[in-house]
Amino acid sequence: MRHSQVSSYSVTLLPGDGVGPEITDATLAVLEATGVEVAWDRQIAGAAAAGVERRGNPLPDPAIESIRATKCALKGPLETPVGGGYRSVNVALRKEFDLYANLRPVRTVVPFRSYDNIDLVLVRENTQGLYAGVEHFVQIGDDPKAVAESMAIVTREGCHRICRFAFEYALHHARRKVTLVHKANILKMVSGLFLEEGRLVAKEYEGRVECDEKIIDNAAMQLVMKPESFDVIVTTNMFGDILSDQIAGLVGGLGLAPSANIGSKASIFEAVHGTAPDIAGQSKANPTALILSAAMMLEHLGELDAGQRVRDAVIATIKGGTRTGDLGGTASTAAFAKAVAQRVK
């Protein structure tokens, strides 16, 4: 077991909007129980920073500077206004810190509906494709929004590095197979380039990691029909965004789905879910997704033992019957965290 040489880590903390502050408090209680010393630099972003009238900067400079210095952040969900309003702070952070790989593992904790033994890892390209944010309206006659255009931009280098990340991940985590998910039959260039690079990378890992390919629509169906036929999935930005919520649904929903955004300049750990405005402020949110994201952060920092203890404690707590409402239980966010923290100790 690898142990860290460091006695205290500096990490930026962005509690976020909606359920963010509640699940952040819960996660901090669990992290404290590990005994790993973290010096948190607490910052605000999203709606909390933009203010009630949404006129402030949703991504203030001190938050960016803090992440630049610590190179590591634990982040709650941030609100993005739908349609108009400020642009996504999540997307801005991914661009700012070149967080090109979004790692989203899902694993069955307790059988959910007809699904059992789900163990999947989705690797999503995080900075390119349709989310590059190159879009505009075209005015025709009196209508300033007669046409909307968005450009999906991918680069050979971007496709190559996300596929290499997925194969390296598979190799170092004893995973058997990587599935390249694409739509190269229709999007011959933007998805074709991804598939071309994926096949090249796969060749380098021949004999060590298997590779297969699936078109996105078939992949979406097969994930529901035969999830056991997948292991690691690598795909482009929007397909990955959609599939990651889908696979979270195979294990009991978004409350259980953690993620890591790994980049060349920093890494940011966060739950897959959003601000859950429908349950915010009610102490109903399941903090598991953020707690498991924090476990990924501990492992990233080299604290493998602490990361594993957190994961084991979460699983044991849920199996032991202490559950939040999304999993059919009655525990509050804080009560669930307390139960996990006790097991971590």
Site for ligand NAD in 326-345 (CB under 6 A): 326
Please say which residue, 245 or 305, places its beta carbon nearer to ligand NAD: 245
Considering CB under 6 A, how many residues would be counted as binding ligand NAD?
20
**Residue from 66, 90, 293, 322 binding ligand NAD (CB under 6 A):** 90
* Separation of alpha carbons 119 and 32, rounded Å: 28
Give the separation between CA 111 and CA 96, rounded to whole angstroms: 39
* Residue 244 touches ligand NAD, criterion: CB under 6 A: no
- The footprint of ligand NAD on residues 271-330 (CB under 6 A) is 273-279, 285-286, 289, 326
Q: What x-and-dash track marks residues 258-277 binding ligand NAD by CB under 6 A? A: ------------x--xxxxx
Interface mask (CB under 6 A) for ligand NAD, residues 70-89, using x and -? -------xxxx---------
The single-letter code of the amino acid at 159 is: C
Other Cβ atoms closer than 10 A to 39: 9
Contact of 276 with 323, CB cutoff 8 Å: no
The nearest distance, CB 311 to ligand NAD, in angstroms, is: 17
* Euclidean distance between CA atoms 64 and 30, whole angstroms: 26
**Distance between CA atoms of 165 and 207, rounded to whole angstroms?**
17
59 binds ligand NAD (CB under 6 A): no
Least Å distance between CB 39 and ligand NAD?
24
Min dist CB 74 to ligand NAD, Å, is: 12
| Ramachandran region, residue 67 (left: φ > 0; alpha: ψ -120 to 50; beta: rest) | alpha
- Which residue number has the CB closest to ligand NAD? 274
Shortest CB 227 distance to ligand NAD, Å: 20
Q: Considering beta carbons, is residue 30 or 279 the nearer one to ligand NAD?
A: 279
Rg of the chain, C-alpha, whole Å: 20
Q: Which is nearer to ligand NAD, 277 or 281 (CB)?
A: 277
- CA torsion through residues 325, 328, 330, 335, sign: negative
List helix spans (H) across the chain.
20-34, 47-50, 61-70, 89-96, 156-172, 190-204, 216-225, 237-250, 288-300, 304-319, 333-344
Other CB atoms closer than 10 Å to residue 15's CB: what's the count?
A: 24
Which residues are the active-site residues? 131, 183, 217, 241
At closest approach, how far in Å is the CB of 278 from ligand NAD? 5
Q: Is 254 in the site for ligand NAD (CB under 6 A)?
A: yes
**Which residues in this chain contact ligand NAD in the complex, by CB under 6 A?**
19, 77-80, 90, 254-255, 270, 273-279, 285-286, 289, 326
